[in-house]
Every structure is written in C-alpha cells, then in structure tokens.
Chains A and B, each alone.
Chain A
Amino acid sequence: MKQDELLGHNFLLSTPRFQRSLWEPSVDVYQGQEGWLVKFDLAGVRLEDLELTVRGCQLCVRGVRRDWKILQGQRAWSIEIAYNEFARTIEMPCGGAIEITSSEYRDGMLLVVICETEAPR
C-alpha cells in the first residue's frame, strides 16, 4: 500500500509524507504606516510555551501546543488539530534589520508589531 500510493501519483516531496520539521502555524502579514503587523494563528497555545526571536530581518516563532484533558475518561474519536512542537520563520520583505515593537496574545492569535531599524541595503 505504501509504495502504490507513492508511485501512483503525488510523488515524493509533493506528498505530505515528508515534513521537514514540526507543524507550522498560519501567518498573516500587514504593512501599516508605522511598520508591520504579523499575525500568527496559535489557538490553544499557552503564553509560557511561546518563544519569539528576531535575527536580521527574520522573525521566528516556536513553541509547543499542549492538549489537555477536559472530559473524564474521554476517548479520541477524531483528531485534526496539530499538537506538540511547532516552529515558523518568516522573512520580512523589508530587506533591513527589524525590531519587535510590541506583541500581544489575543483570542488565540499572536499579534506582533515590527518596525525597521535600518534602511534596506
């Protein structure tokens, strides 16, 4: 079954079989007058499990989404949400170095405001 599926279509990397790292949250990026707004879809992630870093013009978010038991003696019936470690690196289209102006976790979204520290080369 394994090989048939592979050889039939969606060969190699085009299949979702291979994932380089862990799951990656979705990202929106907006440009404003002051600077940039980057929005990460990170519902269910506790703040203490989040880590934001900046390197050059790259913004990196990583962390862990932990599930928790809500029902007594629950049985998994269907799971689609990705848990465990995640990581996402985005390269800002500004060209120069960046700096985080502010960050806020609101309603399951991580909102990060960025400004450019130097002009693009």
Chain B
Amino acid sequence: MNVETMSLPVLPLKNTVLFPNLMMPLAVGRDISLRAVEEAADREDKNLLLISQKDPDQEDPVFTDLFHIGTRGVIKKLERSEDRLQLVVHGLERVEAIEAEQEHPFIIARFRSLPPLEDSGAEIDALRQSVLEQASRLFELINPQARQAISRLDRELRDPAQQVYLLASLLTLDLEKEQSLLAAPTRLEALRLMHAFLAHERQVAELRQQIASQAQSEMSRQQREYMLRQQMRAIQDELGERDGERSEIFDLRQRLEETRLPEEAHLEAERELTRLERIPVAAPDYQLTRSYVELLIELPWNKLTDDNLDIVHARRVLDDDHYDLNEVKDRIIEQLAVLKLNPEAKAPILCFVGPPGVGKTSLGQSIARSLGRKFERMSLGGLHDEAELRGHRRTYIGAMPGRIIQAVRRAGVRNPLLMLDEIDKLGRDFRGDPASAMLEILDPAQNNEFRDNYLNLPFDLSRVFFITTANTLDTIPRPLLDRMEVLRLSGYSDEEKLFIARQYLVDRQRRDTGLTAEQLEIPDEVILRVIRRYTREAGVRELERTLGRLCRKVATRFARGETDPVRIDPEDLGQLLGPERFFEEDVRQQMAPGVAAGLAYTATGGQVLYIEAVLLPSSSRELTLTGQLGDVMRESARAALSFIRSQPGRLPLIKENLDMGIHIHVPAGATPKDGPSAGVALATAIASLYIGKPMRSDTAMTGEITLSGLVLPVGGIKEKVLAAHRAGLRRLILPRQNEQDLVDLPPAVREEMEFIFAGHVGEALAAALPDLEEQQSVA
C-alpha cells in the first residue's frame, strides 16, 4: 500500500479530527460529503481521506479550505437514513494531502502516507508518565472511575503517540489543538503538546467545578430561605395571622386612596406603604413604618371645622360659662368679627395671664364652644425636652411625633383651639430649649410650614387657634412673649365670687352630690362667710371645694335617713366646716411704730404685706434687710431710707433714732419678693419708726418712689385693691398716675373704698401718719 502517492475521495470534517487506529461515528449530510462517501463505498478497499476544514462554518469547502495533514480511513459501517448517512470510520494512517485532482462534485486528493512516529528516548518516557499522570488527575475531576482506565491505557497501549491520540479523542479539545496533535511529526512533539493541553484542561475543569459548587451552595441557601418562609407562612396561616397582616396593608392602602392628602404627603405615604409590603411583619421596621403611614393618613391635612360666626350666640355662650372677664370676651368677639369679614384670617395667639383658679382653662373651653371649634389642651409645665414638642427623628427607636402634631391628630381637624397650659413653667436643660421650639410654633409667619422631626413633612398650623396660659409673665422669655397677645385675668372680689358661687358653683356642687335645690339652700350670708372666713384666694377653686364639702356634709345627713330640707345658717358653718381659717381681724388693729401695710402682687393674686422695721441700738447706722428680698427691693429700701433721713427739717424725726441702725423685715420670710412697688410702704415704715408714731391701721399703700420723693405708678392695681378689700382695709394710698386703673374695679368695691392719690411721698406720709396730717409741714 505504501505507494509513493495515491488518490482518494476526501470527506471534509467539521470541528473534529480522526486519529489513526481510532473509530469514529459520523453523520454525513452535505452533498460534497455524501458524494465522497458514496465514491469510497464503491471502492473495493472502502478507503477515503478524512481531513478537517480550517473553518468549521464553511459549507462548501474546496481543497485549499482544508488542512494539509489528515487521516486515511476505511468505512467500517454505513447506514442510510433518509438523505443522510451514518458511518463508522476507522483511522488507518496519517497522510499529507498534496493536491486536488478534482473539486466537484466532491474532492479527490492526491496524498502521501506519513510514516508512523518512532522516535524514542528518556525524555519521551518522562513526558509520557507526566502526561498520563495529568490525564488521570483530570479524569478524576470529571469521572472518579477513570483512574483505572488510565492505568489500563498505559498497560495495553505501548505506543506513546497512540496514547496521545486516544487521550485527545477523549478530551474536548479545540480543533486547532487536535489538528496540531495530528500534525505532530514526532512522539516528543505530540507529548509536549498534550502535556500543555492537559494542564489547561485541568485548570478549566477545576474552575468549572468551583463555579458549580458555588452555584450549588448559593442555590441551597436560597432554597433554605424559601423553605423557611414557606413554613412560616404555613404557621401564620395556622394561627390566622397572615390574612390579618395582608389585610392590614390592604386596609391602609384603601384608606390612603380615600383620604385626600397633599401631593408631598401622598407620595411619601405611597413610598412607605410599598416598602411595608416588602418587609416581613416580624422585622422591627414593620411597626415603625406602619405607625408612620397611619399618622400620615390620620393627620387632618385638609380637614377644617366651620367656625360659628354668630356673634350673639358666641357672646351668650361666653356669658353663660363665665362671669365678667369682659376684656377677654370682647377680644374673642372681635376675632369672630374679623373671621366674618376675612375667612382666611390667621388665628390669633392669645396668652391668658392670671392667678390660679380664675378660670383660664375653662375660658379656653368655652371659647372653643362659642366658636364651634374642636378643643385640645396640653400642659407645658415641666416640659424640658424640645423633642417633646417637635418629635424625634424616625431613626430613633421609639420615635414619636411631637405633642403639637399629636394634639392636632387627636383633634382631627386642622383648625382646633389648642390650649397650651402653664407656658410660664417650661423647663430648659441640656436636651434643648422648648421655649425656642415654641417660637416657631407660635409664629404665624412660620407655623404654616411647621416641620415635625418625626413627620418630616411641612404641616400647616396657621389655622390653629393657640391660647396659652400663665400665672406670671416674668419667666416667659421675651421673644416668646412677644409673639403672644397678653390678656390679663385678675382675681375676683368678694362680691364677684359671691355672684360666681351663686350662679355656677353652688348648683354644680349640689348636682355633683346628688342634692336638689329644695333639699339644700345656701343663703348669700353663708357663701360670703365662706368666702371671707374659710378661703383666701384670687380665684374660686378653694371656694368651690369648700362649698363641695358643705354639700357633702348635708348629703351625709340625707343618706342617714333625714328627710327635712336643710337651710344652712351662718352659725352652722363652725359645726360643718370646722373653725374659721381666716379672720378679718387678720388686719392688724394695733400698729406699732415702724410697721406699714404694703400691697404685693403675686402669682396667686394680690396680698397685704406688713413691712416691719425696728431700730437697733448700735453705734453704726447700718441697714439690715431680711425676708428674701430681691435686689430691686433692697435698693428701693435704701432709697426710702435715704429720702427720709434727708428730710430732718420737714419731718419731726427724733434725733436719737437717726443715730441707730435699722432692720427691715418683710414677711412672710420664706417667700421671695422683689420689685419697686413697696417703695411708699418702706418709706412710711421708716418714717413711722423715726418719728416714733404708728401709722393708721385702716390704710394700705403701694407705689414706687424716687430718691427725691416722687411716687411712680405700679402694676397690678386691681389685684392689690381687691386684696386690701378682702383683708378689710378700706383706705388705700395709690400713686396718682394709677388713678385710671380703678375703672377695672367692680363698682361695688370701688364705692366701698377710699382712695388717696399721691404724687409725692410727703402726701402719702401725710395720709398714712395721723399726727403728721395735722402739722402739714411737708411740702
């Protein structure tokens, strides 16, 4: 057979190479291949050439599209099915194609047989071992049983080249690699190439296995999670929870659709709701997000109540609920009038200042009632955390909206009447300054875009009717005070209290204890006696409590079985309420020299205050001041002392007394006092001491003095007058410029009192010290 050259039909191979001594199944469909195979089958030796195409995609290759080195093979089996041929070919030897004898309809090539590879040497043996080792490792990665097969390969197939060919047919090598193995002219070359290919294949296989195991572990993790979730679902279904949670979100969404929110809030709610659907119920975020969405939905972004603008109705409601307080009532009526003319008017921010028990809070309630607004109140007393007002950011655990937003949410409308009680008792510490937060809330220019930290969206507070209450203005920071319209509610006189008691308190207490007007009658004398002897206050709280006690005592009798109606006499009070607690005799009847009755204005109303001064037999003329006096009052005492001492010619001062020290005490010693309004009283006490004569016991006084003796006006005249009246003092010395304040007084009180208006200390002294009156030596 080893003819120098021969010709055979060529079957072009795609993507594969036939190695000598190996069988290969083939499917032939191309016309050029079919013709070649049919030609070979017609030959007596069934031989053909199998040569690979350089480009596997070439459908109709010519001789130059083929490699030069190929294999001569013989057809072992052939089977025709439809228009295809299934073959098994057997490789015989390597050949080199020389030229094409024919290209159409199939290729016939002239070729030369290549001699078998026969080189040998130590290097070949070493390489062969290495290749087999590599191969066995590689096959171990793919198929653990392959190791034995490799050792059999080594045993039964002594030709290294043949081993290489067989290995190549088992691996998925690229066409180029297979072709280069087939073309290798020596065993050494073939082994070298195989060695390199195996190393590469092994890396690929290892990588592939790594990826596969990674993918598998990833998959098993996901599967585990899925399984657990399924189980959780099943448990929740069993407990009947899953439906609840689903419907909860569904509910929220439905409510969101039904509510008209501002664009920004709606978007935020949508976003949070979508997030909510994705987090499991057990996640801590779930509750947080849910309550946030609920807040968004529940806040009255656009809900308003219509104001009742009927002025007559409003006035009637206010009068029904409260006696007097005309200044405040007028202000409310004015506001109604404004709202009537301009519905868009901003709500006012009022501040009610007055002693406890005068009805500040209940006045707020009745204003809300008269306007037809929702009423919400909160106390700011002792509040010292800014976050209480403005809320916590949602990042904090347990974050909540601030009290303002909560109050608006409770009210359910955007324009409630919001009462902020005890604004004078706001705290302040390292957690922030709530007063400063109040600045924003109470500023009509800013509060239409109030931003709560929790809500984190602007909310319009400008339609909220804010009313704050305070007992005193002294502790309210200036900027805050500046934003509010201050309305004073002063204390009530005895007559006013009597009226209030008759009108409101007695009925209420009787009702509370379950008595009827027939069963219990409380005449005016009794009420007055209770007012005067059992209570001493600016407001009416204690009075109401005491009347309540009275009613309960009577109720006890009825409960015991008595049926006769009761009419309480003033004489019964001692038995019912115990001994009298306050005396009109509290007013000092016998005044010692150096004692003067001053009038003070405190947070609980006016008060009569006895200023006491004594001479100290000491060589130094020092001045001692006690009774918790503030700096202003101390200076006021010094000024009074200096003024009196500077008047030796005008006042009958006793010379020896001037050389002695002086001690001034202002009871009660435990109450801090300050202010200049005790100037006149101080001067009177000192003058009385130096002259050695007591002042009139039926007189009280107030007023600031200057060093030159001028009397300046002071505040709180109404409270002071009422306090003096309450105490039984009927003669008052007031600064001349305070004369106009008397219009505030109830006419009954005004008529009972004698007022002396002083422009100079001399006039005050003349009115206070009876002996001086006669001398009239002071200018």
A contact set with B: CB distance below 8 Å: 2-3, 6-7, 11-13, 16-22, 64, 66-69, 74-80, 82-85
Q: Which of B44-52, B468-476, B759-767 contacts A (4 or more CB under 8 A)?
A: B44-52
Q: Do A79 and B41 form a contact, CB below 8 Å, given A3-B172, A84-B46?
A: yes
Q: Which of B141-149, B298-306, B713-721 contacts A (4 or more CB under 8 A)?
A: B141-149
Give the shortest distance, in Å, between B737 (CB) and chain A (any CB).
Answer: 116
The answer to whether B23 and A18 touch across the interface, beta carbons within 8 angstroms, is yes
10 shortest interchain CB distances as A-B pairs: A76-B41, A79-B78, A66-B44, A12-B149, A17-B23, A83-B46, A67-B44, A84-B45, A77-B80, A84-B74
> Which residues of A have CB within 8 Å of B78?
76, 78-79
B contact set with A: CB distance below 8 Å: 1, 16, 21-24, 37-38, 41-47, 74-80, 90, 92, 142-143, 145-146, 149, 152-153, 156-157, 166, 169-172
The answer to whether A11 and B149 touch across the interface, beta carbons within 8 angstroms, is yes
Main secondary structure, interface of B, reads: mixed
> Which residues of A have CB within 8 Å of B24?
2, 17
Contact of A67 (CB < 8 Å), options: B43, B143, B171: B43
The answer to whether A67 and B46 touch across the interface, beta carbons within 8 angstroms, is yes
Among A7, A11, A75, the most chain B Cβ lie within 10 Å of the Cβ of A11
Give the shortest distance, in Å, between B165 (CB) and chain A (any CB).
Answer: 9
The answer to whether B75 and A18 touch across the interface, beta carbons within 8 angstroms, is no
> Which residues of A have CB within 8 Å of B92?
22
The answer to whether A79 and B77 touch across the interface, beta carbons within 8 angstroms, is yes
> Which residues of B have CB within 8 Å of A84?
45-47, 74
Q: Do A13 and B44 form a contact, CB below 8 Å, given A3-B171, A18-B22, A76-B80?
A: no
The answer to whether B149 and A19 touch across the interface, beta carbons within 8 angstroms, is no
Complex: A111 Cα to B153 Cα, angstroms? 36
The answer to whether B152 and A80 touch across the interface, beta carbons within 8 angstroms, is no
Question: Which chain A residue shows the least CB distance to B42?
Answer: A69
Question: Which chain A residue shows the least CB distance to B78?
Answer: A79
Q: List 18 A-B contacts (CB under 8 A).
A: A3-B172, A6-B170, A13-B157, A16-B23, A17-B23, A17-B24, A18-B21, A18-B23, A19-B21, A19-B23, A22-B92, A67-B46, A68-B44, A76-B80, A77-B80, A78-B79, A79-B76, A83-B45
The answer to whether B152 and A19 touch across the interface, beta carbons within 8 angstroms, is no
The answer to whether B77 and A11 touch across the interface, beta carbons within 8 angstroms, is no
Complex: A20 Cα to B92 Cα, angstroms? 10
Complex: A82 Cα to B88 Cα, angstroms? 11
The answer to whether B77 and A80 touch across the interface, beta carbons within 8 angstroms, is yes
Give the shortest distance, in Å, between A18 (CB) and chain B (any CB).
Answer: 6
Give the shortest distance, in Å, between A120 (CB) and chain B (any CB).
Answer: 28
Give the shortest distance, in Å, between A116 (CB) and chain B (any CB).
Answer: 31
Complex: A64 Cα to B74 Cα, angstroms? 13
Give the shortest distance, in Å, between A5 (CB) and chain B (any CB).
Answer: 8
Complex: A77 Cα to B156 Cα, angstroms? 36
Known: A18-B166, A64-B45. 7 other contacts (CB 8 A): A11-B143, A13-B153, A19-B22, A19-B23, A76-B37, A79-B79, A83-B46
Among A3, A13, A66, A76, the most chain B Cβ lie within 10 Å of the Cβ of A76
> Which residues of B have CB within 8 Å of A69?
42
Contact of A79 (CB < 8 Å), options: B23, B45, B75, B157: B75
The answer to whether A3 and B170 touch across the interface, beta carbons within 8 angstroms, is yes
> Which residues of A have CB within 8 Å of B166?
12, 18
> Which residues of B have CB within 8 Å of A74?
42
